[in-house]
Amino acid sequence: MPLLTPKDFNEMRFLLSAPTPRAFPAPDRVEIAFAGRSNAGKSSALNALCQQTALARTSKTPGRTQAINFFDGPSMRLADLPGYGFAQVPPAVKAAWARLIEAYLSQRECLAGIVLIMDARRPLLDFDRQLLQWGGQFGLAFHLMLTKADKLSRNQQVNILRKTLAEVDGASAQLFSAPKRLGIDEARAAIGRMLPDEFIANENHYQ
């Protein structure tokens, strides 16, 4: 199993923002994508995982980011996908989003897996299921993060995690909270498990 160290996350740096597939960086590094609905907490999760406050831009206004943002670290590349499912986005923008995501998922040969971020209060909505289906067609591995867990009681957390795991086939899932820093080591380990076997092993690894 590939092993990652804290440095692999903490030393992540912004690489570029790609509004179209032509702007994607060369697929020369192993890559993990963060996907999920607008406002689910993708950028916050990415920042928490990398112990940085402003690596990916977070916003109270959903649907701000329409491009794919790439980040490079010592061992892998991360991609923050634009959020989907934001009702007030015009149809032309929605179509452009779908083209960008579909091009990304179908062409990105260096993509090792997808971290699907969902609000723990409302997991597995239509677009989440569509993404799982799309990714499944391309043989991609998924790890589900149920974020904003701080908004739920411990009982609710346990129930929603159990229910979610029962509904997805073969994907792993966890609870997460960016402000409470809950689930960071678990998420880091899950990302490590999605990387190919030839990946470098290190000390201080997550497992």
Interface positions with ligand GTP (CB under 6 A)? 36, 38-44, 58-60, 62-65, 83, 147-148, 150-151, 177-179
In the bound state with ligand GTP, the residue whose beta carbon lies nearer, of 5 and 31, is 31
Binding piece for Mg ion, criterion CB under 5 A, among 9-17, 43-51, 89-97, 184-192? 43-51
Contact residue for Mg ion among 32, 34, 37, 43 (CB under 5 A): 43
Q: Pattern 54-93, binding to Mg ion, x per CB under 5 A?
A: -----------x----------------------------
Token output for 80: 């923050």
Judged by beta carbon distances under 5 to 8 A according to partner kind, the member of ligand GTP, Mg ion, none in contact with residue 147 is ligand GTP
Q: What are phi and psi of 144, to 5 degrees?
A: -100, 130
Distance CA 152, CA 159 (A): 10
Strand partners, 36: 117
Q: For residues 105 and 107, what is the distance between their CA atoms, to the nearest angstrom?
A: 6
- Dist CA 59 CA 83 (whole Å): 12
Q: Which residues contact 155 (CB under 8 A, 6 or more apart)?
A: none
Minimum CB distance to ligand GTP smaller for 65 or for 172 = 65
> How far apart are CB 65 and Mg ion at their closest, in Å?
5
